[in-house]
Amino acid sequence: MTALKGKHIVLGITGGIAAYKSAILARLFVKAGAEVQVVMTPAAREFITPVTMSALTDKPVITEFFTANTGEWHSHVDIGLWADAMVIAPATASTIAKMAHGVADNMLVTTYLSAKAPVFIAPAMDLDMFAHPSTTANLKTLAGYGNHIIEPAAGELASHLIGKGRMEEPEVIFSVIERFFGDTAELAGKHVLITAGPTYEKIDPVRFIGNYSTGKMGIALADAAAARGADVTVVAGPVDVKPTHPRVKVVKVESARQMLEKCEDLFDETSIAIFAAAVADYAPAEYADTKIKREHTQVPTLRLIKNPDIAKTLSSKKHPGQLTIGFALETDNEKVNAAEKLASKNLDLIVLNSLRDAGAGFGTDTNKVTILSPAGIIADTPLKSKREVAADIINAILKYDPFTH
Ligand code: CTP
């Protein structure tokens, strides 16, 4: 039984090369037990035929307001109300603009304007069109109306140029929707704040102190918390990984100080804060405005100052009802060190990673953790994917949080 069984999905297809991938997307929805109603723009028919789409979905495809020979009226209002979700994939720059401004000159945009269900938009266009300020502004407007934008990926485009604008793969779009319906509500209405990735501490305009953290664990935790209904903000250092859950927002920062500042702005409204970032402990005492040259200088000495401890600073301001969770990356005497960090940083729980465990730690797709509360070990996971470990950590937090009982 999948989360999509019996769900009504309106699949909107617009006129872009990526429309051929909509056939795969429709197939995935149907295979998962959903009913799919395809609505195409007139331009989409130039890229994939209605016959293909109706054969895959077992329903006539709608492209016009009327069926020409019978005069049968297609009610966009009825389709909009029937939908449990509307997915527009691919969404061209033109359709995105029309949706943002209510230009209801085709069946797809009128259906969108009548839809009461959540709407997911997967843009697909050339890199320059995607980067154009008007497209950025239109997507921002649509996101502001509560629509979920499934960001395009970077890669080779139909124009053979390489850049961002390629529609996300059907499997990814499918998993975003599946995840949305698979959500549970234990954390509904709660804000979760997560720090993730490394921090970069600038030495000069071209150099920094950093570390190998990729942010995978933090982003996996963000998706896992959102799947339990939370509104999640990730404050991330320089990372490439992206969350897939539409309820996760990422705020990018660079240094530990910037990370602390952003977290401080968000902490008051936060119910649960998880500090998964590998924050640099030290930053250069001085920043050189111009590149430090090899000639003309003696071998420079890098003087360091201590960075703020984000977990400790925020945990010391905790008010009743707020939970803070830290990570401890240890190489020896692991449990004792982790328990000490838990106490000294005033955390409620700490997730211990041992670098002695193969497959755990920076950059890997797997992890193995032990979760400690002030009373001792509350959970222990075998080596699993970071996504599964993230779900286990959120489960442990839910069990621990007295307010969700
Ligand atoms: N942490 C933080 N700010 C810092 C350093 C650490 O928020 N400046 C958080 C991490 O995100 C993690 C926890 O504190 O949740 C422990 O991080 P870790 O690097 O293991 O501990 P440190 O306090 O830096 O101790 P040490 O490096 O000496 O083990």
pLDDT one-digit tens code per residue, 118-139:
999 999 999 999 999 999 999 9
What's the pLDDT band for 281 if we cut at 50, 70, 90?
very high
Whether the CB-CB separation of 35 and 6 falls below 8 Å is answered with: yes
User: Does the Cβ of 279 fall within 6 Å of ligand 1?
Assistant: yes
User: Does the Cβ of 275 fall within 6 Å of ligand 1?
Assistant: yes
The total of other beta-carbon atoms located within 10 Å of residue 54's CB is 15
- Residue 256 CA, closest ligand 1 atom number: 8
**pLDDT top residue among 71 and 352:** 352
Cα(231) to centroid(ligand 1), Å: 25
| C-alpha distance from residue 13 to each of 6, 29, 143, 359 (Å) | 21, 14, 19, 42
Over residues 202-225, the mean pLDDT reads: 96
At 313, list the tokens: 């600073």
Using the predicted structure, report yes or no on whether residue 395 has a pLDDT greater than 50.
Answer: yes
Distance CA 280, CA 28 (A): 43
Identity at 88, one-letter amino acid code: I
- Residue 325 CA, closest ligand 1 atom number: 15
Q: What's residue 248's pLDDT?
A: 93
Cα(325) to centroid(ligand 1), Å: 11
At 300, list the tokens: 């420079």
Q: What's residue 68's pLDDT?
A: 66
**Mutation probe of ligand 1 site: the residue of 279, 307, 313 with most atoms within 8 A of C-beta:** 279
Q: Which long-range contacts (CB under 8 A, 24 or more apart) does 57-65 make?
A: 57/11, 57/26, 57/30, 58/30, 59/35, 62/37, 62/38, 62/107, 63/39, 63/107, 64/107, 65/107, 65/110
Whether the CB-CB separation of 227 and 184 falls below 8 Å is answered with: yes
Report pLDDT digits (tens) over 29-64: 999 999 999 999 999 999 999 999 999 999 999 998
In 3D space, the residue among 213, 183, 185, 188 whose CA is nearest the CA of residue 199 turns out to be 213
Using the predicted structure, report yes or no on whether residue 195 has a pLDDT greater than 60.
Answer: yes
- Residue 312 CA, closest ligand 1 atom number: 7
Cα(278) to centroid(ligand 1), Å: 7
Over residues 157-162, the mean pLDDT reads: 83
Strand-pair partners of 248: 232
User: Could you list the active site residues?
Assistant: 211
- Residue 311 CA, closest ligand 1 atom number: 7
Cα(392) to centroid(ligand 1), Å: 21
Distance CA 84, CA 118 (A): 7
Report pLDDT digits (tens) over 354-371: 887 777 777 788 889 999
Q: What's residue 405's pLDDT?
A: 34
What's the pLDDT band for 401 if we cut at 50, 70, 90?
low
Using the predicted structure, report yes or no on whether residue 282 has a pLDDT greater than 90.
Answer: yes
Cα(224) to centroid(ligand 1), Å: 22
The protein residue with its alpha carbon nearest to ligand 1, atom 28, reads: 281
Using the predicted structure, report yes or no on whether residue 403 has a pLDDT greater than 70.
Answer: no
Q: What's residue 163's pLDDT?
A: 86
What's the pLDDT band for 404 if we cut at 50, 70, 90?
very low
